Structure 1
């Protein structure tokens, strides 16, 4: 897997936004962060899948950690240029859209299960994902993120 860190999701600030927003909504840490290491590196190497998208009209993925890139079978650059709706099959997209509207309204959902598809067409269930809104220090909405450890190929 090739990693060329470019764009919003490649910044330490974005990594902190992911971790801080998660803590704000869930009242616990996304992962156990080591103080002397960068947050971006720790999220990228985390043992769970972590990804996020921005606030575009058709939101584009802007972060995926190593495990996420492997699951979606993509390198950093194509992954972070992909509209997030394309991670679901066309027949699953309406359900996905309704779900993300609920996350926007409520701030987070902590038990999402849904079908996704990799870049090569491999289908899988994500199980018990936590999805949360990204809110910066000024209270501005910056997108949404998801984290999960469990998935099953179908």
Structure 2
């Protein structure tokens, strides 16, 4: 499951989070595969999307997959806007723009919807911009550990 591309992206998520927020998402291991495995199995949600005009998820850890009731294959081809109900998409877009301008936002909450229609509210989410080693914008990521089904 963990390809070299996923391992590299996992490291980018961890380092860009620290660069944006000044906090650690998880401690970096000397072994990059171990870091990627820890992130994938973490008890918090971690998702990211790319820079497409209609951004598509390019990462979802196991907790995110379980919450949205999607496997990896289906999650990473889904436009990220579909993670929110249509009524919540404008609010979600405003939050993405705010993070894009400011580098990150914290304490976000909003309603999301799983692939089977289960609604839940995410709480205390952090959203940040992903930049690579050359400081090129690569998309955005979000993490949260609190949610409640509605």
Residue 72 in 1 paired to residue 72 in 2?
no
**1:48 corresponds to:** 44
Structure 1 runs, 4 residues or longer, greater than 2 Å off: 32-37
1:11 is paired with a residue of what secondary structure?
helix
Contact 2:49 2:58 in 1 (8 A): yes
How do residues 1-150 of structure 1 correspond to structure 2 at under 5 angstroms? 11-36=6-31, 38=33, 39-150=35-146
TM-score by length of 2: 0.94
TM-score by length of 1: 0.92
5+ residue gaps, structure 1, are none
Contact 1:132 1:144 in 2 (8 A): yes
The aligned length equals 149
Question: Could you tell me how far apart the structure 1 residues matched to 2:116 and 2:52 are?
Answer: 25
Question: Could you tell me how far apart the structure 2 residues matched to 1:123 and 1:73 are?
Answer: 11
Contact 1:124 1:153 in 2 (8 A): yes
Q: Deviations over 1:68-98 (max 9, x none)?
A: 0000000000000000000000000011111
